[in-house]
A and B are shown apart, each in its own frame.
Chain A
């Protein structure tokens, strides 16, 4: 066992990346529905969706930088390294899921 156990709150990092992905999906889907219901123009709806997606990607990028540059605290031992690696790769997976799922689709017909 490591001399300093990894605090349980750090487990949030395992779901943080996909938490942001979830937020991007929910906000984009909701704004799309609102925009269509209230007759926003296609250009403004696309702009709003793009802003939402870019904002989420910025957050993901910031988290990525934070995780990728931080070395695991030596006191946390192999458990700390394991959790950091898993957190980093889930974050990468979340970025990979966000770009094609939300980023590339906003060029399509908006409300038809």
Chain B
């Protein structure tokens, strides 16, 4: 088959339609670009807000903004930069690049990618539009309670943050699961883990961090919204809550988040630096060890943001030492990059300018980080502009400079052109000088005692010229970013035309047409050497001619390969879904639920949430294949079963990682319960809890019966018997469990609105109800798919997923119910302490 004919056939199958059909796009290239473009719009808005704060602070006693407007502006600036720019930008980069670098055609769950994008767009829009109406969040980007409680923030400002940002976090979580599964299961054949490009390792570790980091904040945001909307006092110290619980939940997310932003950019640097150094990356294994260590240690030091809240010295020392230690794995990477440059023959081009900028800025940010890790210094600098400066140096160094290096490096993949030096070099120097002028001055003004988050300051305390210089620097930096944007836009039309693979790279994303076709590779490469060491340009032609795997079109299917996790041996044929409006509709329903919640139409919100659940079930009805196929040829004499007939299909792993995220939410809830028990003022409550042991045991037994019935249905399916009876039995058991838990919630003492003791019991039982309810959805979906012929003895994935979900529900249900039953004893222990 000629390369052109193959291209036409594949393009017809994989392309996104024109006009309105663009809204149905699920292709990773389209969605990845949308993510990056949208996050860049939010970056521009947040940048303008940042400039407004610099205008206000340029001179003392300024009247440019009133305090309330200033509060909204700086809060949205921070929230937007972190949640709507930094994280989505790295997600966009991951979505666009990862499949290409790993030599596959798309991610495992294209509809989920699209749903994630729409959730991000809608959630971000809620926050952005709130600015226009003057109801934007105004409690700072980390929304500390009690300032963000409805006592001190009575409007909808805080709700906008809690609902809008949670919406975006759901998007991030879905993408994280998708990235993990795709990297583990969808690489080029032969790409074993030791041959995987280092970018893949970085993205894998980052996505796993996201799976575990986001849940505590999602839980915190849900609890705070429940407190604000329904009065359950999780964070209200007058009624047994504790504001510090919010800080713990926030920073359990917030600290790893810095590394979630840094690691993908470090992955980009580890890809770019060897190319420009003309040698392989030094210390591949050491870097893999370092990023695993970094991922863990970054979670273990969340308390260093809370050094001034009154934690005992010994515990402070745990986190202070850990905060200093985290510099070691970071330094391992920095030295590996320096060694690569030192042992190579570096050549300079625009991306390398930004690499230089990264080294300079990030090392400074890291050093001030080590300073702030030392408790006595932190006590002095806490809540001063020194912290603001440190934070910007870290995030700017970790994100902005590598991001621009990555843009300049990968833009030719899209445009077939490279940047015009006359514009890009001055743009870099403006950004670099402006950045350092803006934020270095903040170190000094912070050390002189200027607190953060003040809307103005008196003129006689010695902060005037530093603030003025900082503001001037801000404008220089903005002009620089403006030039960067102009430079990138002009590159599309006036850039220097280049042939494929202009940088003489060693990774697979350059072994494809420019711009990349929607199917990415006309045929999939076989990787027989370390994938960081592939002459990409030379592979392109043979892949375009269809000489790799799957170099043909079949049945109009979007086909790619699933591989063994460690060896990369081809294992299954993955058939991906075509473009559909379902992700958009589902995100619209989710958005309607969020907006109705925001405006306190709770029944409408519930209805929209049910529609969302229904749409997910509907999406399930269109997944998979309608009959058994057995092994199908995939090229090179290899035949593989479709993923629907394979034991380790991507959905199986996706559910495992989803349960990891879910388990983290549950663990955070259990942590919250114990935290309030041990630390909250006003415990024990006036009314002692008296949960019904019988009812709790009945609920647990019903959950166990449902799980056993799910096993029965799987056995019946494999044996060729009808499974409807087992499924119906499981449904009845789940309904009984839900009823039991609801009755338990109704009888909670003290009432959930009166004391955090009751509120935590209600939250634990609510968790059980929610999971049993989702179990019901699994069963309904199974019945529908059985009826449609999408489930068979060989295609038993649905039933295995259901079994896994219900097993998880039983385990967490037992812990939740056990904890509720244990509450009276825990309260009694508190009463008996000296």
Given the contacts A22-B300, A25-B300, A93-B289, A1 and B568 also touching, CB distance less than 8 Å:
yes
B148 within 8 A of A: no
- Residues 13 to 65 of chain A near chain B (Cβ within 8 Å): 14-15, 18, 21-22, 25, 28-30, 32-34, 36-39
Interface-located stretch among B317-325, B452-460, B480-488, B623-631: B317-325
Interface-located stretch among B222-230, B307-315, B809-817: B307-315
B329 touches A93 (CB 8 A): yes
Return chain A residues, CB-CB under 8 Å to B648.
8
B317 touches A105 (CB 8 A): yes
Return chain B residues, CB-CB under 8 Å to A82.
193-194, 285
B202 to chain A, nearest CB (A): 14
B566 within 8 A of A: yes
B833 touches A39 (CB 8 A): yes
**Interface bracket on A:** 35 or more
14 contacts between A and B (CB under 8 A): A14-B292, A15-B296, A21-B300, A22-B299, A25-B322, A32-B312, A33-B315, A78-B192, A79-B567, A101-B318, A101-B322, A105-B318, A106-B314, A108-B313
Q: Which residue of A lies closest to B322 (CB)?
A: A101
Which of A37, A78, A105 makes the CB contact (< 8 A) with B833? A37
Which of B184, B194, B300, B834 makes the CB contact (< 8 A) with A83? B194
A101 touches B321 (CB 8 A): yes
Residue among B289, B565, B569 with most chain A CB within 10 A: B289
Q: Which residue of B lies closest to A85 (CB)?
A: B285
Given the contacts A79-B193, A93-B293, A105 and B565 also touching, CB distance less than 8 Å:
no
Q: Which residue of A lies closest to B192 (CB)?
A: A79
Which of A28, A33, A111 makes the CB contact (< 8 A) with B679? A33
Complex Cα distance, B321 from A104, in Å, reads 9
B289 to chain A, nearest CB (A): 4
A32 touches B315 (CB 8 A): yes
B190 within 8 A of A: yes
A33 to chain B, nearest CB (A): 5
B569 touches A97 (CB 8 A): no
Return chain A residues, CB-CB under 8 Å to B325.
97, 100-101
Given the contacts A93-B329, A97-B325, A110-B312, A1 and B193 also touching, CB distance less than 8 Å:
no
Q: Which residue of A lies closest to B303 (CB)?
A: A29
Which of B192, B295, B321 makes the CB contact (< 8 A) with A100? B321
B678 within 8 A of A: yes
Closest 6 CB pairs of A and B: A5-B567, A82-B194, A105-B317, A18-B296, A6-B566, A8-B565
Show the binding face of A for B, using Cβ within 8 Å.
1-2, 5-8, 10-11, 14-15, 18, 21-22, 25, 28-30, 32-34, 36-39, 78-79, 81-83, 85-86, 89-90, 93-94, 97, 100-102, 104-106, 108-112
A7 touches B296 (CB 8 A): no
- Residues 290 to 306 of chain B near chain A (Cβ within 8 Å): 292-293, 295-297, 299-300
B111 within 8 A of A: no
A107 to chain B, nearest CB (A): 9
A11 touches B565 (CB 8 A): yes
A32 to chain B, nearest CB (A): 6
B678 touches A34 (CB 8 A): yes
B30 within 8 A of A: no
Q: Which residue of B lies closest to A109 (CB)?
A: B313
B376 to chain A, nearest CB (A): 13
B57 to chain A, nearest CB (A): 38
Which of B312, B315, B329, B566 makes the CB contact (< 8 A) with A11? B566
Return chain B residues, CB-CB under 8 Å to A7.
566
B303 to chain A, nearest CB (A): 8
Complex Cα distance, B327 from A97, in Å, reads 12
A97 touches B313 (CB 8 A): no
Complex Cα distance, B314 from A32, in Å, reads 9
Which of B564, B679, B833 makes the CB contact (< 8 A) with A38? B833
Q: Which residue of A lies closest to B569 (CB)?
A: A1
Known interface pairs A1-B190, A82-B193, A109-B312; 17 further A-B residue pairs with C-beta atoms within 8 A, sorted by A's residue number = A1-B568, A5-B564, A8-B566, A18-B292, A29-B315, A32-B312, A37-B679, A78-B194, A86-B285, A86-B292, A89-B285, A93-B329, A94-B296, A97-B297, A108-B313, A108-B317, A112-B312
Contact indicator per residue, chain B 452-484, by CB within 8 Å of chain A (1) or not (0): 000000000000000000000000000000000
Complex Cα distance, B325 from A104, in Å, reads 13
